[in-house]
């Protein structure tokens, strides 16, 4: 996905966040707070929407203890990728090779 399409995608996400009321569960409120502090460039509504969407993947989970941790890691990786241009999760990064 090129830069223009990424920005267009983000604008669409923000617009949809305004259209649909997103309610973050109490267990995920600290996740939203932490991610918004770490990534102030993103609107709070966008972070809430990503957290809600990601947490839906675990809706049927029998063990819920680690859901906030898993959601924080997943959404944090998405925001880092969009914010700094970091490598997507699961792909090796060439950044640290020169330093090793």
Domain of 40 in residue numbering reads as 3-84
pLDDT of residue 96: 45
Give the total number of structural domains in the chain: 1
Establish if 92 belongs to a structural domain: no
Which residues of the chain register pLDDT less than 70?
1-5, 7-22, 85-100
Instruction: Specify if 89 maps to a domain.
Output: no
- Classify residue 91: in a domain, yes or no: no
pLDDT digits (tens, 9 = 90+) for 26-54: 889 999 999 999 999 999 999 999 999 99
For 23-51, give the DSSP string.
---GGGHHHHHHHHHH-TTS-HHHHHHHH
Does the predicted TM-score (pTM) go above 0.85? Answer: no
- CATH number, domain containing residue 60: 1.10.8
- Is 67 inside a domain boundary? yes
- The answer to the question of residue 95 being in a domain is no
Contact 32, 51 (CB under 8 A): yes
């Amino acid at each position: 996905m090129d830069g223009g399409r990424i920005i267009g995608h983000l604008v669409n996400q923000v617009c949809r966040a305004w259209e649909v009321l997103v309610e973050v569960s109490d267990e995920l409120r600290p996740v939203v707070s932490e991610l918004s502090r770490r990534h102030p460039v993103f609107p709070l509504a966008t972070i809430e929407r990503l957290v809600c969407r990601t947490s839906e993947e675990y809706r049927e989970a029998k063990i819920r203890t680690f859901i906030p941790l898993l959601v924080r890691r997943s959404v944090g990786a998405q925001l880092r990728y969009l914010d700094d241009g970091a490598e997507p999760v699961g792909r090796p990064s060439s950044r640290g090779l020169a330093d090793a």
